[in-house]
Amino acid sequence: MEGGTLLQVQDLVLGCRGRSYPLVGTVSFGLRAGEIFGLVGESGCGKSLTGLACLALFPSGVKPLSGRVIFRDTDLLSLPEEKRRKFRGRHIGLIFQEPLNALNPVFTVGHQVEEVLELHRGLSGEKARRETVRLFSEVGLPDPELRLRNYPHELSGGMRQRVMIAMALAGDPDLLVADEPTTALDVTVQAQILELFLELRARRGLSILFISHDLAVIREVADRVAVMYAGEIVEEAPREELFSSPLHPYTRALLAAFPRLGTRKLEVLPGQVPPPGTWPRGCRFAPRCPEKIPLCAEKHPELKEIRPHHRVRCLRV
């Protein structure tokens, strides 16, 4: 393991009960301390399942078939459920797209954050209340003391997302997994929340696994980016390098299909992402690839380091 690595996902393969094919895999990547790592891809590429697996969380029916998720020196997948639960929240916080689904509608947001503080840090009463106010002001909630008594439905979408971030920070974790945390927000509010993630990283030295389908959002926040396609990482590079000189044909096609200000012509990538169970035997992108050669249909390419810190899964590169 290289120095400063906080989380290491090794050869992770996820399967589903009753199905003979994998949903995700094989995925390997490492997250350094204080780094924002962006995981980007289209729906069904496996980015959300990969993100949950980093907390050893699996939706019902999904289970790891192989691989390890190592946080510092602990393999989360080998821990019993009870210990995993202690790990989550305390060391790794989770933020979802829709805070309304994650917050309990019948308790005040203050109560919900205090509960986490008691569970993970043993704070209660006045101490928990003071810490909640501090967390609320850290995440930029206006009038933090008044917010304690609000119910989730009384807050705007942006404020709810700030509450959820405060809750994820309550256990004082080292890593946040944020799955599409700004997708449900309006652009002007999204800009504020993205700014908040950058501030939190700078202030607390947090590592963030930032999952999004939106290339522009990833470009805004991530230090390094991994592009996923059909259950695996096809390219991984530092942010600037990925956006200025993408090497994998899928990354290039995705960037050319993404409208930005001043785009005159969008290049169309025909076809769609193959769902799990229909992945081709060779390169999974080959059927849609404008640059494929006969070998691509035969041989599954490895994720190779082409330049320092730049890994690409393509036979032609």
Partner 1 sequence: MTVLELREVSKSYRLRGFLRQGPELQVLAGVSLSLRRHEILGLVGESGCGKSTLARLALALEKPDQGEFLFLGQPYWRLPRRERRNLRPRLQAVFQDPAASLNPRMRIGDLISEPLRLQGVSREETRDRTLKMMEMVGLPEEALSRFPHQLSGGQRQRVALARALITHPEVVVLDEPTSALDVSVQAQILNLLLDLQHRFGVSYIFISHDLPVVLYLAHRVAVMYLGEIVEMAPAADLEKPGLHPYTELLLASIPGERKKRPVAGEPPSLLRRPYGCVFHPRCPEARPLCQREKPPLRRVSREHFIACHRR
Nearer to partner 1, 90 or 239 (CB): 239
Cβ-defined contacts of 141-146 (< 8 Å, 24+): 141/166
Q: Tell me the window of 85-93, 97-105, 230-238, 253-261 that interacts with partner 1 (CB under 8 A).
A: 253-261
Does residue number 178 form part of the binding site for partner 1 (CB under 8 A)? Answer: no
Does residue number 304 form part of the binding site for partner 1 (CB under 8 A)? Answer: no
Per CB under 8 A, contacts with partner 1 among 38-67 are 42-43
Angle (CA) 76 79 80, round 5°: 135
Does residue number 244 form part of the binding site for partner 1 (CB under 8 A)? Answer: no
Does residue number 299 form part of the binding site for partner 1 (CB under 8 A)? Answer: no
Cβ–Cβ < 8 Å for 214, 183: yes
Sign of CA dihedral 276, 278, 283, 289: negative
Nearer to partner 1, 31 or 159 (CB): 159
CA distance 198 to 218: 12
The residue count for binding partner 1 (CB under 8 A) is: 40
Does residue number 254 form part of the binding site for partner 1 (CB under 8 A)? Answer: yes
Helix (H, G, I), strand (E, B) or coil at 92: strand
Does residue number 305 form part of the binding site for partner 1 (CB under 8 A)? Answer: no
Per CB under 8 A, contacts with partner 1 among 71-100 are none
Does residue number 153 form part of the binding site for partner 1 (CB under 8 A)? Answer: no
Nearer to partner 1, 28 or 207 (CB): 207
Does residue number 186 form part of the binding site for partner 1 (CB under 8 A)? Answer: yes
Select from 57, 65, 194, 317 the one that contacts partner 1 (CB under 8 A): 194
CB 194 to partner 1: min, Å = 6
Q: Which residues of 152-163 are buried (b: 16+ CB within 10 A; e: fewer)?
A: beebebbbbbbb
> Which neighbouring-strand residues pair with 232?
229
DSSP string, 10-31: EEEEEEETT-SSEEEEEEEEEE
Does residue number 283 form part of the binding site for partner 1 (CB under 8 A)? Answer: no
CB 233 to partner 1: min, Å = 17
Tokens standing for residue 190:
């999204």
Does residue number 278 form part of the binding site for partner 1 (CB under 8 A)? Answer: no
Angle (CA) 115 131 127, round 5°: 80
Does residue number 261 form part of the binding site for partner 1 (CB under 8 A)? Answer: yes
Placement of tokens 């193959």 in the chain: 274
Nearer to partner 1, 30 or 41 (CB): 41
Sort strands 36-40 and 224-229 into parallel, antiparallel or unpaired.
parallel
Residue ranges in contact with partner 1 by CB under 8 A: 42-43, 156-159, 186-192, 194-195, 198, 213-217, 219-221, 253-254, 257-263, 266-270, 272-273
